[in-house]
C-alpha cells in the first residue's frame, strides 16, 4: 500500500518530492504531541514545530472554524482582527519593531525582508551562513546553501561559514564569535568591491538548520558591530526559534542578546494555518512600503488573524514557554547522561535539541549511523529526524506541550536504540 502511494505521489507530483524516512509514514490523525498512522499505530511527535501548541489544538481549530463561518476576506477592507494581532505580536518585541506585514509563508516573509534591506540601504549585497535554509522563492533560495538555486548562486550573495561546536569557525571555540564576524567583514568588503554594496545579514538566531550549535549569549556582538558599521541591517529569521520555543525567551534574538532591525516569523504562528509575517521598525517599514505597493491577497485575512491570536493566547494560558524551559532542562540532563562511542556532542536551546555522532577523532560525520538511529526510533513510535551540514545530528524539536513524561519516554527509547546500535568498524 505504501509503495503504491509513493508511485501515486510520483505520478501526480513528479520526481524528487521530499519524504521523511526510508519507509515514509502515512499519518492520518494528530492530537497534542501524538500522531497516528493508518494502521492505528501511535507516534510521539518529537519533531514538528508547526503544530506549536499541539496538533489540532481544539481552541485553535475552533477559532478557525468560527471565523471561517463569519468572514474571510482581504485587508483592503478594514477589519479589527489583523490589527489586534499585529498589536499583540509587536507588543512581544522590543527594539522599536512595532509594525508588520502579514503574509502566508516564511519564504514570502524573507523575500520581503531582503527587499526591505535593499530599500533601506539602496544596496543589494546580502550575507547568510553557508549551511542554512531561509525559504524557497527565487530570491530567498539564493541564501539557502542546502538547496542551490536554479541558475546558480547570484553574485550579490555571500555565504560565511556557520558556527559549529565540533569544527569551530577559525579553529577554536573561544575565538569563534570573532572569526565569524571577521568572515562577515571580509564578505562586506567583497560585496562593496563588486559594486553591490551591502544591505544586511539574514540569520536564524538559533542557527537551527546550521546544526543548532550552542553559541553563548553575545555571540553575535562582534558581527552586529561589523554589520552596523557598514550600514547594513540585521534580519532575524525567527521562523524556527520564535514564539517561546527557546524557553528562556520568547524570541531567538532575545536569547542570543542582539537587536534585529527586521524579524520574520512563520511556521508555528498559527499552528499550521498558512501565515507568516515581517516585523520591522517604522523607518524600515516605510522605506519598503513607499518603494513598493505591497499587497498580499490572503495575508492577514480574518481567519489567519483569528488563528494567530488564539495561538498567542494558548501559549500564555498553558504556560508553554515556561514548559519549554522546564522540559528543556530535563532533556538536556538526560542527553548529557547518554553514553555511546560515536556520540561527540549533545546540545539544546529550549525545546530544540541535537545529538551529534562522529566516526573518529577527525570528526568524520556518522551520517549513516544517525540515519539508522532515526529509522529505529520511528519504528518504535518516535517521530524525529536529522540536522546539520552532514545530517549526522539527531534533531529533536517537539511541539511545545511536550512533557517531562514524553521526554522520558523519548530518552528511554534513544538509550535503548543506542544500546542496540552496532558500532561501525
Residues 8-27 that bind its own copies (CB under 8 A): 8-9, 11-20, 24-27
Q: Which of 46, 48, 345, 417 binds its own copies (CB under 8 A)?
A: 48
- Measured from the Cβ of residue 224, the count of other Cβ atoms closer than 10 Å reads 21
Contacting its own copies (CB under 8 A), which of 32, 33, 46, 51? Answer: 51
Does 298 participate in binding its own copies (rule CB under 8 A)? Answer: yes
Q: What are phi and psi of 276, to 5 degrees?
A: -155, 175
Which of 93, 108, 387, 410 is the binder for its own copies (CB under 8 A)?
108
In the region spanning residues 307 to 366, those forming contacts with its own copies, defined by CB under 8 A, are none
11: Cβ contacts below 8 Å, ≥ 6 apart: none
The C-alpha atoms of residue 288 and residue 188 are separated, in whole angstroms, by: 22
* Interface region with its own copies, contact rule CB under 8 A, candidates 113-121, 242-250, 318-326, 365-373: 113-121
As measured in angstroms, the least distance from the Cβ of 188 to its own copies is 19
Stretch that binds its own copies, among 114-122, 157-165, 175-183, 367-375 (CB under 8 A): 114-122
- Rounded to an integer, what is the distance from CA 135 to the centroid of its chain? 10
- Taking the mean position of all CA atoms in its chain, how far away is CA 12? 29
Of 76-95, binders to its own copies (CB under 8 A) are 76-80, 83, 86-87, 90
CB of 52 to its own copies, least distance (A): 12
Judged by CB under 8 A, the residue of 178, 296, 313, 409 near its own copies is 296
Q: Which is nearer to its own copies, 75 or 406 (CB)?
A: 75
For the CA atoms of 198, 203, 209, 214, the dihedral, rounded to the nearest 10 degrees, stands at: 120
Report the distance separating Cα 277 and Cα 269, nearest Å: 9
**Between 114 and 169, whose beta carbon lies closer to its own copies?**
114
CA distance 84 to 304: 12
131 interacts with its own copies by CB under 8 A: no
Q: Which residue in 22, 41, 42, 58 binds its own copies (CB under 8 A)?
A: 58
Please give the Cα distance from 221 to 49 (Å, whole number): 28
Contact positions with its own copies (CB under 8 A) in 136-165: 136-139, 141, 147-151
Q: Which of residues 397-416 bind its own copies (CB under 8 A)?
A: none
Whole-angstrom Cα distance, residue 40 to residue 22? 20
Smallest separation (angstroms) from its own copies to the CB of 29 = 5
Scanning 130-138, 222-230, 334-342, 365-373 for contacts with its own copies by CB under 8 A, the matching segment is: 130-138
- B/e letters for 320-342, b = 16+ CB within 10 Å, e = fewer, are bbebbbebbeebbebbeeeebeb
Question: Cβ of residue 31: shortest distance to its own copies, in angstroms?
Answer: 9
Nearest alpha-carbon partner for 258 in 222, 231, 208: 222
**Rounded CA separation 266/278 (Å):** 9
Among 207, 250, 258, 288, binds its own copies (CB under 8 A): 288
CA distance 32 to 144: 31
Least Cβ distance, residue 379 to its own copies (angstroms) = 15
Name which of 176 and 271 has its Cβ closer to its own copies. 271
Amino acid at each position: 500500500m505504501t509503495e503504491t502511494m509513493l508511485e501515486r505521489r510520483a505520478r501526480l507530483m513528479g520526481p524528487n518530492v521530499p519524504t521523511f524516512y526510508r519507509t515514509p509514514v502515512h499519518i492520518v490523525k494528530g492530537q497534542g504531541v501524538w500522531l497516528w498512522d493508518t494502521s492505528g499505530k501511535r507516534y510521539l511527535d518529537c519533531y514538528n514545530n508547526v503544530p506549536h501548541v499541539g496538533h489540532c489544538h481544539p481552541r485553535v481549530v475552533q477559532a478557525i472554524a468560527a471565523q471561517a463561518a463569519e468572514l474571510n476576506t482581504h485587508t483592503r477592507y478594514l477589519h479589527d482582527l489583523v490589527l489586534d494581532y499585529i498589536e499583540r505580536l509587536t507588543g512581544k518585541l522590543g527594539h522599536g519593531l512595532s509594525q508588520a506585514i502579514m503574509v502566508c509563508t516564511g519564504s514570502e516573509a524573507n523575500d520581503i525582508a531582503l527587499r526591505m534591506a535593499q530599500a533601506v540601504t539602496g544596496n543589494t549585497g546580502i550575507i547568510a551562513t553557508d549551511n542554512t535554509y531561509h525559504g524557497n522563492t527565487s530570491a530567498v533560495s539564493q541564501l539557502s546553501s542546502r538547496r542551490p538555486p536554479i541558475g546558480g548562486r547570484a553574485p550579490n550573495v555571500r555565504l560565511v561559514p556557520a558556527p559549529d561546536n565540533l569544527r569551530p569557525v577559525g579553529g577554536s571555540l573561544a575565538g569563534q564569535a570573532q572569526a565569524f564576524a571577521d568572515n562577515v567583514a571580509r564578505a562586506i568588503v567583497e560585496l562593496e568591491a563588486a559594486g553591490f554594496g551591502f544591505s544586511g545579514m539574514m540569520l536564524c538566531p538559533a542557527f537551527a538548520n546550521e546544526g543548532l550549535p550552542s553559541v553563548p549569549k553575545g555571540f553575535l556582538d562582534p558581527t552586529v558591530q561589523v554589520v552596523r558599521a557598514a550600514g547594513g541591517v540585521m534580519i532575524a529569521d525567527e521562523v524556527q526559534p520564535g514564539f517561546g520555543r527557546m524557553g528562556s525567551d520568547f524570541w531567538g534574538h532575545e536569547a542570543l542578546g542582539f537587536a534585529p532591525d527586521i524579524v520574520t516569523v512563520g511556521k508555528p504562528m498559527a499552528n499550521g494555518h498558512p501565515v507568516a509575517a515581517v516585523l520591522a521598525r517604522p523607518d524600515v517599514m516605510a522605506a519598503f512600503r513607499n518603494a513598493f505597493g505591497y499587497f498580499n491577497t490572503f495575508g492577514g485575512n480574518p481567519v489567519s488573524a483569528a488563528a494567530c491570536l488564539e495561538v498567542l493566547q494558548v501559549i500564555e494560558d498553558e504556560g508553554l514557554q515556561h514548559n519549554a524551559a522546564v522540559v528543556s532542562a530535563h532533556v538536556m540532563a538526560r542527553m548529557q547522561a547518554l553514553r555511546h562511542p560515536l556520540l561527540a556532542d549533545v546540545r539544546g536551546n529550549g525545546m530544540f535539541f541535537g545529538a551529534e555522532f562522529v566516526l573518529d577523532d577527525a570528526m568524520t560525520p556518522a551520517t549513516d549511523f544517525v540515519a539508522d538511529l532515526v529509522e529505529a526510533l520511528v519504528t518504535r513510535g518516535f517521530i524525529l529526524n536529522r540536522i546539520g551540514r552532514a545530517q549526522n545530528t539527531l534533531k529533536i524539536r517537539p511541539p511545545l506541550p511536550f512533557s517531562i513524561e514524553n521526554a522520558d519516554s523519548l530518552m528511554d527509547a534513544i538509550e535503548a536504540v543506542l544500546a542496540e546500535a552496532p558500532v561501525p568498524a
